[in-house]
Structure formats: C-alpha cells, structure tokens
Amino acid sequence: MRIVSWNVNGIRACANKGFEKWLAGCDADIVGLQEVRANETQIPASLRAPEGWYTHWSPAERPGYSGVGLYSRLKPKDIGISLGKQEFDVEGRVQIAEFGRLIVANIYFPNGSGKERDNARVPYKLAFYHRLFELLEKERKRGRPILVMGDYNTAHKEIDLARPKANETTSGFLPEERAEIDRLLKLGWVDTFREFEKGPDHYSWWSQRGGSRKRNVGWRIDYVLASPAAMKHVRSAAIHPDVHGSDHCPVSVELDSKTL
C-alpha cells in the first residue's frame, strides 16, 4: 500500500506542469494534496474526479488560499474536515479519512509568518498543532494505526534544512516550532522518513529564487508521522525530489497489506 503527500502550491498551476501525468503513473493507493488553492468547481475536470479514484476536496473560505484534497483507490468510510474550532476550519487545512482501521490525516499545517513577514502567526500555528493531535490522541491510545501526512511547515533538526544558522529566527525553524515536533515524537509519533534515512541533504521544499532547487538549498518540511500501531506496518519512506510541478516535492510511505 503506497501513500503519497504533496503540497502542489496550486492544483491549477501544477496541472499545467504535468500533474495529471504524474497522478496516472504514481502507483499510489492514497494521495493527499495540500495548498490546492481552488474550490472543487475550479479544479480541471480531468482532475476533479478521474476514473479509478475517489476524490474529496476541502477548500478554504478565502478564495485562492490553502485547501486540501484527497485521491484514494478505496472509498473511505468517513472523512472529517473539522477541528471543532472556527478559526482553524475556515482555512481548509484538514482531511481525516478512515480506511478500515487505518486513519489517514491529510493536513496543511499553518505557516507562522504574518502579513508583515514577522512571526505573528506562530501562536496560531502551534495552537493548530495542539488541537489536531489532541483530537487524534484518543484513537492513538486505543492502538489505531494513524498516519498524519502533509506540509508541517517546520524543519525539525539542523539536518533538515541547508542553512540552519541563517534561519534561527525564521518561522519554520524557531525553537518553539521545533519543540512541538519534539513533543509529538515523545508522545510516540514516529517521523517515518528518519526511521529509514539518517543522512543530510534530503529536502522537500526549495525557494523559487536563486536556483535553490538546482543547488539543493532546501528544507525538509513535508512529513508522514506514524502512530506506533501504524509504524509496525511501514516498510519504507521516501522523498521524491525528481518530481517537479511545485516548489515542494512529494513524500511517501509504503505499508504492508495488513494495515487495514
């Protein structure tokens, strides 16, 4: 079973850069998209509900902003899109889908940067993290296999970005943001990629300025966190920098068939 997460930075823009061809050949069972930036009627018809896929879209109230989307070969028995708080739900950042016993949360975590390019949204971002994982905690404690995939907008360790010293005061690498990832791992959540790859120079986002991607000056901010019950079934995790079409690249996990 292959599960893929990708911040497409606008599905309409990504559609013009080969998204449909990628989707047809990605060999995935579930694909979660973040930063869709469109409501369902604005998505190209060929991507809105392609043959062989169940699709679900959760846009933000604000046009052209945020939004998440889900493709799956199996129809989920349920999909939740609310964290129970209006200030989070209006931004269209959440899809929590159930496939048998497996819960797959497709999440576009907030960026902490404010309108003035300051860190004004960090409290909102951290509150979002707490609320999401608080809602998942009951099922995690019950032993449900859960995957929380998406753009976390946080690089956890110095190894997870090319220039850590230059970004110590930048949202995405602030001590309080990194501490939130620490907190989740201490609870028992597992960073799937780091279970299989301990080395440097693996990134999932690159600035579109200065040839950053070509020079691999990037950040690893796209993750799949697994509950202990899900991690038992994870066989591999990967980042796919060869896939273009967005300033992010996809990340994926492979699970055995016993997960469901």
Q: Which residue in 151, 160, 191, 222 is the catalytic one?
A: 151
Q: Is the dihedral of CA 233, 239, 245, 247 positive or negative?
A: positive
Q: What region does 202 belong to: left with phi over 0, alpha with psi -120 to 50, or beta?
A: beta
151 included as an active-site residue: yes
Alpha-carbon distance 124 to 130, whole Å?
A: 10
Q: Find tokens 């995957």 and name the residue.
A: 147
Ramachandran bin of 137, using left for φ above 0, alpha for ψ from -120 to 50, beta for the remaining angles: alpha
Helix (H) or strand (E) holding 184: helix 175-187
Tokens 């697994």 found at: 226
CA 188 to chain centre: 19
To the nearest 10 degrees (0 to 180), the angle between helices 122-141 and 175-187 is: 0
Determine the 3-state secondary structure of 105 from DSSP: strand
Q: Which amino acids are annotated catalytic?
A: 151
